[in-house]
Amino acid sequence: MMINISDPTLTKMLLEHVVEQAEAGGLDQLLASGFRPELVDDLRQRPLRDFFYAARNGGLAMSVQIDIKNLEACLWRRDIAKHTETLKEYFIRHGASIELLRSLFTLSKQELQRLRTELDLSKAGPNGRPRMPPASIRDKIHQKWHDIGQSAPNSHERDRLSALHKEFSAFSIAALHRVITEFDDSKSTTPAPVQELGPQVAPVESQYLS
């Protein structure tokens, strides 16, 4: 895509860029584009006010070519990176385990500590596996996890887990992940016992039983 440049400031900046390119070893590219060696030498010796004069009074026509596909791809990668960073902070803030974080994100120990400090979560959380919600709530979590997977089958697991946590925000992401993987323990000869949140349903959990 070709765009015509009429703004004097942009025109002056493009002339400056020509000089910078020549001085950075890009002379061959300029010559291949149609610049004469004498013109490049002339531009390199002129003060910036001459560029400004040419941009304002010379009727100088300039145009730039933009690689639209590459621009769109660049912006898409930027959006993905921002989305991933937002999710990473969300998972840390809402109690995802270190093991889960490292399985879903590229995350070093130093970055994890930095994020926890920035999010004011530097104090260590409880050790060990998170407690499981009562069986009746686990059934609802399993059903919602299935529904999310059906509605977005090609989505990343971290996006689905984020959506699940928004439905069951009373529980940590670590607890929810343990629920949706509880039957993976069947591969073991001695599955870990399920530790529930006590015989009585706490008020914060009763909202999921209606």
22-58: per-residue pLDDT in tens? 999 899 989 998 999 999 999 999 998 999 898 888 6
In the block, residue with structure tokens 């910078």: 20
**Position 190 pLDDT exceeds 50:** no
* Structural domain spans, the chain: 2-66, 74-206
**Position 80 pLDDT exceeds 50:** yes
Overall pTM > 0.85: no
> What mean pLDDT is reported for the chain?
83
For 150, what's the count of Cα atoms within 13 Å in the CB-facing half-sphere?
6
Answer for the pair 5, 63: CB distance below 8 angstroms, yes or no.
yes
Instruction: Report the DSSP beta bridge partners of residue 5.
Output: 62
